Amino acid sequence: MADPTAEALRLGKRYVDLINERRLDLLDALMPPDFKSHTRVGTIQGLAGFKALMQMSYAAFPELHWHIEEFICAEGRVVLRYHWEAVQRAPFLGIPPTHKLVRAEGVEIGHVRDGQIIEIWNYADIMGLAAQLQFKDPLGLGI
């Protein structure tokens, strides 16, 4: 049986590589069709929905590239602390292109089972990104 910590590290690194290479077609080998991505604003159900979110992100931020600041792995878990910087060149979540360089930071916790990442919990600094894009109420709170 493979070492669960080593397997989580391998899957986490491969996931980041595929995101940075824009090889969403190869995510099928890492994630099941019923993959879930939990975010501050809701849960994306299914790998197809996650791929659609990434395509939208690539369209808005063509230079998007994750920089991993920290990898932590334990049995069945991989934790990534990351940041990315890119210029917003197309609409994103209803925000017109700003043509400004922005930086986003976050943490992802991936749950690994049977050689796949089955779900991710993403804790991104949405308020910080929204402020840089001059979007006043990113969570729809009426503020």
| pLDDT tens profile 108-132 | 999 999 999 999 999 998 888 888 8
Is 29:47 a contact under the CB 8 Å cutoff?
no
Could you tell me if 135 and 95 are in contact, meaning their C-beta atoms sit under 8 angstroms apart?
yes
Is the pLDDT assigned to residue 139 strictly greater than 90? Answer: no
Mean pLDDT of the chain: 91
For residue 10, the surrounding DSSP H or E stretch is helix 4-21
> Residues 44, 55: contact at Cβ < 8 Å?
no
List the domain boundaries for the chain: 4-132
Indicate if the pLDDT at residue 1 is higher than 70.
Answer: no
Nearest Cα residue to 68 out of 20, 112, 30: 20
Which of helix, strand or coil describes residue 75? Answer: coil
User: How many distinct helices (H) and strands (E) make up the chain?
Assistant: 3, 6
* Residue that the structure tokens 């930086």 belong to: 103
Strand partners of residue 73: 78
Cα distance between residue 139 and residue 17, in whole Å: 30
Q: State if pTM tops 0.85.
A: yes
Domain covering 4-132: architecture: Roll (3.10)
d(CA 100, CA 111) in angstroms, rounded, equals 34
3-state secondary structure of 127: helix
For range 12-19, the mean pLDDT: 96
Which tokens go with 94? Answer: 């209803």
DSSP type of residue 95:
B
